[in-house]
Amino acid sequence: MILRYAALMLLIAAAVSGAFVAWRGGIAGPVERGVLLGAALASLGAISGMALLDWSSGRGQTQFFGALMLGILGRLAVFGGVLIVVGLRRGAFDLVASAVSLLGFYVVFQVLEMRFALRQSAGRRTGG
């Protein structure tokens, strides 16, 4: 099931990013590259966070909450670090486009992650 989730995240990120780049006429500008960076980071964070939760869900409560906190703090550190670097290196990526793209994709992926986690826990309770 984790592979279907990862494929869905990549498909959403690729489709929306591809449509944005086609609408803007290429990836020549910093705004376009910022949007692509935000989409890639959010996808990577969503897939790695879900992989951690999938790994920990069959284990004890301590491992589950540890993986949950590691996923939250890991994403916070990576997203924050990348946005700081983008802000310091002007020109290559647009900071606002990167942040808005990252936040937008993150929210969509969080909704899907919750759905995945709830379906997975329901499947474990029913034995399926």
Neighbours of 37 (CB within 10 A): 23
What gap in Å lies between CA 117 and CA 123, rounded to an integer?
A: 10
Say which residue the tokens 């939760």 belong to: 53
Note the pTM of the prediction, 2 decimals: 0.84
pLDDT in tens, 50-81: 888 888 877 888 888 888 889 889 999 999 99
Contact between 40 and 32 (Cβ < 8 Å)? no
CA 22 to chain centre: 22
pLDDT at 79: 93
